[in-house]
Chain A
Amino acid sequence: MTVLATALSDFLHAAVEPQVQVDAIGIGAIYALMAVGIGLVFGVLRLVNFAYGQLVMAGAFALAYASDQDWPVWLGIVLCFVVVITLTLAMERVVFRPLRGKPAATMLVATFAVAFLLQAVALLIDQTDDTLGEPAASLAKLNVPWTILGTDVRKITVVAIVTAAVCLAGLVLILSRTTVGLHMRAAAMDFETARLLGVRADRVIGSAVLLSGILAATVAVMLTVQQPLVTSTFALRETIVVLAGVVLGGMNRLFSATLGGFAIGYASGLLGGALPTAQSQYLPSILFGLVIVILLVRPGGLFTRGPGPVERV
């Protein structure tokens, strides 16, 4: 018992360190953005896009390519956005649209297939062109720390937190102030009635998908700064954790899904930063153990009231 108590006390002491807190919030911010990207599409399509991580991965490949070609940073970021957004819209057109209204299991497995496919394509590119899979070095200067009051704050952590805050604020404005935002909210609540009122399904879905693509590109930039080594499994782990976070928070509300994404990112940052090295290799077990416990206690979502998600998988 005392061993456990000591371990817990050590963990708590480490966890309140400003260093750990700042890093955890930085991870939470990025995960929250991914959660919004997944949640937006789920809202209008009732489709869990497992391939979201591969969109981020494609963006990272674009950045690595730009870096390899010695392009200026801004051009690399432009390329990243162009690639990710094009791919997102193509995915909607080629895969999501024909699957609209199909059983949830089919849709989910189809996005699995797309994820698998994109990963395979990335692997193929990686093999044939050995310049890829190399570090996207040009972004590395964002990774250096500032020391503020004895805490090392990497520039990217600040950038991540500010970017996430700006993106989320922008999204709230779009959803609450614009007509297409209103249409998206209505479609997420009751798509059929929205259509009966004249809300155009293709436009609403297209807008949600576009926004999710923009967010994926943003995430790609920030993750590539932190993990410059770009491989075909880039962002895969993050996607799995974010998906768990989104369901944990409550999938049927964008707000609760976002909060779930932030919470799981924050928790994983905290565990990663505060656990002693010997135990930190079991971080996934602890994290997903927590996920199971929370799902059992709050199957409808941690941050929601009322019943759980409406779809059946």
Chain B
Amino acid sequence: MSSSTLVVSDLVVRYGAVPAVHGISFEVAPGEIVGLIGPNGAGKSSTLNAITGLVGPFSGSVRLGERDLTGRAPEVVARSGIALVPEGRRIFGELTVDENLRLGLAGRRTQRGVAEDLERVLELFPVVAESRARSAGVLSGGQQQQLAIARALVAAPEVLLLDEPSLGLSPAITDTVFDALATIRDSGLAVLLVEQRAQRTVAIADRTLVLANGELRLTLTPDDAGDTERMIHAYLS
């Protein structure tokens, strides 16, 4: 499968007159995890919303490889190969696990190879495989998070966006989720990981961008994971 790089250039997002993101640029290449961290209100969600098409950017562009996706509708973005694991998981609790996975298929560009992709995803998340016939609403938070990632992956995306996947999860489950992310990266996907848990993110990501007040402040590497002082500084500056 051809893989493309997600390129965000000079992105500006405003809500009415209120600016949320002031011209940030970054790339996420196939086979890498890019972390995006920052305090509440830093512009993380606005950035994601602009990529997924929930809000139209004021200026700047979002491209996947050759394709310009700036300001396109959410379903167009999803069907172009960018899958989202939304904040709060947004599982359809009244549908079964299987139906949730089938909804993920809506983002596929080709209907070939569905069975193989499904098998691979379920292998990655055995918990999901075990409860396919159950109502998704009865799953635990950790199970729902894994379902949300599985649901995004069955779309066979080139880029995977995750919005705070560790929110509300126990450290043990967070480990499971982050281990899965490493596997996903190694399979050649471009992964953008938006997180509050800075240390974990810096440790797993190839690069981590620190966002504050709508601007990119600095880039951290996995080596910085132990350097708490630098991280605190990055947050507070």
| Chain A residues packing against B (C-beta within 8 Å) | 179, 182-183, 185-186, 189-190, 192-201
Interface flag for B192 (CB, 8 Å)? no
Contact: A196 with B52, CB < 8 Å?
A: yes
CA distance A198 to B155 in the complex (A): 9
Question: In the assembled complex, which residues on chain A have CB atoms less than 8 Å from the CB atom of B86?
Answer: 193, 196
Checking B75, B90, B108, B151 against A200 with a beta-carbon cut-off of 8 angstroms, the contacting residue is: B75
Q: A182-B99, A186-B95, A190-B90 are in contact. Are A197 and B106 (CB under 8 A)?
A: yes
CB of B28 closer than 8 Å to a CB of A: no
Complex contact B103–A194 (CB within 8 A): yes
Is A198's CB under 8 angstroms from B78's CB?
A: yes
Counting from the closest, the 5 A-B pairs by CB-CB distance are A198-B107, A198-B78, A198-B106, A195-B74, A193-B90
B102 in the interface (beta carbon within 8 A): yes
Any chain A CB within 8 A of the CB of B234?
no
**Min C-beta distance of B161 to chain A, whole Å:** 10
- A194 surroundings in chain B (CB, below 8 A): 103, 106
Chain A residues positioned under 8 Å from B235 (CB to CB): none
Known: A185-B95, A189-B94. A197 touches B104 (CB 8 A): yes
Distance, CA A200 to CA B103, complexed state (A): 11
Tell me the B52-74 residues at the A interface (CB within 8 Å): 52, 54, 73-74
Name, among A185, A186, A189, the residue most crowded by chain B CB atoms within 10 Å (CB to CB).
A186
Residue of B nearest to A176 (CB): B99
Among A195, A198, A201: residue with most chain B CB under 10 A: A198
CA distance A299 to B117 in the complex (A): 46
Alpha-carbon gap, A185 to B99, bound state (A): 10
B154 nearest CB neighbor, chain A only? A197
A186–B152 CA distance with the chains assembled, in angstroms: 15
B75 touches A182 (CB 8 A): no
Please give the distance in Å from A174's CB to the nearest CB on chain B: 14
Is B103 within 8 A of A182, CB to CB? yes
CA gap between A261 and B144 in the complex, in Å? 36
Are A195 and B95 in contact, CB atoms less than 8 angstroms apart? no
Is B103 within 8 A of A197, CB to CB?
Answer: yes
Residues B102 and A179 in contact, CB atoms below 8 Å apart:
yes
Q: Is the CB of A199 within 8 A of B92?
A: no
By a CB distance below 8 angstroms, the chain A residues around B84 are 196-197
Residue B14 at the A interface, CB < 8 A? Answer: no
List of A residues within 8 angstroms of B74 by Cβ = 192, 195-196
* Residues of chain B with a CB closer than 8 A to A186's CB: 92, 95, 103
B75 touches A193 (CB 8 A): no
Question: Would you give the shortest CB distance from B189 to chain A, in whole angstroms?
Answer: 16
> Does B92 contact A198, Cβ atoms closer than 8 Å?
no
Q: How far is the CA of A88 from the CA of B74 in the complex (A)?
A: 26
Q: Which residues of B contact A198 (CB under 8 A)?
A: 75, 78-79, 106-108, 155
Q: How far is the CB of B148 from chain A (nearest CB, A)?
A: 10
A186 to B79, CA, bound (A): 17
- Binary interface encoding of chain B residues 146-160 relative to chain A, with 1 for a CB under 8 A from any of its CBs, else 0: 000001100100000
Q: What residues on A are CB-neighbors of B83 within 8 Å?
A: 197
A45 to chain B, nearest CB (A): 16
Task: Return A313 CB to nearest CB of chain B, in Å.
Answer: 24
18 pairs across A/B with beta carbons < 8 Å?
A: A179-B106, A189-B95, A190-B92, A192-B54, A194-B106, A195-B74, A195-B78, A196-B74, A196-B84, A197-B83, A197-B103, A197-B104, A197-B106, A197-B152, A198-B107, A198-B108, A200-B75, A200-B79
Which residues on B sit within 8 Å (CB–CB) of A195?
73-75, 78
| Given A196-B52, A198-B155: A183 touches B75 (CB 8 Å cut-off) | no
Closest to A203 in B: B75
* Contact status A193-B54, CB under 8 Å: no
Q: Report chain B residues within 8 Å CB of A200.
A: 75, 79, 106
Q: Give the chain A neighbours of B79 by CB distance below 8 A.
A: 198, 200
The answer for the CA separation of A183 and B73 in the assembled complex, in Å, is 17
A183 CA to B79 CA in the complex, in Å? 14
How distant is the Cα of A199 from the Cα of B76 in the complex, in angstroms? 9
**Are B78 and A196 neighbours in the complex by a CB distance under 8 Å?**
yes
A185-B95, A189-B94, A193-B86 known; A199+B103 contact, CB < 8 A: yes
Interface residues of B in 167-201 (CB under 8 A from A): none
A-side contacts of B75, CB under 8 Å: 195-196, 198-201
Q: How far is the CA of A200 from the CA of B52 in the complex (A)?
A: 14
**Cβ proximity bits B45-57 to A, threshold 8 Å, 1 near / 0 not:** 0000000101000
| Inter-chain contact B155/A196, CB cutoff 8 Å | no
Residue of A nearest to B99 (CB): A182
Q: Distance (Å) between the CB of A292 and the closest chain B CB?
A: 30
Knowing A189-B92, A190-B92, A192-B54 are in contact, say whether A197-B107 is a contact too (CB < 8 A). yes
The distance in angstroms between the C-alpha atoms of A86 and B73, with both chains bound, is 27
Output the least CB separation between B89 and chain A (Å). Answer: 10
With the chains together, A197 CA to B73 CA distance in Å? 11
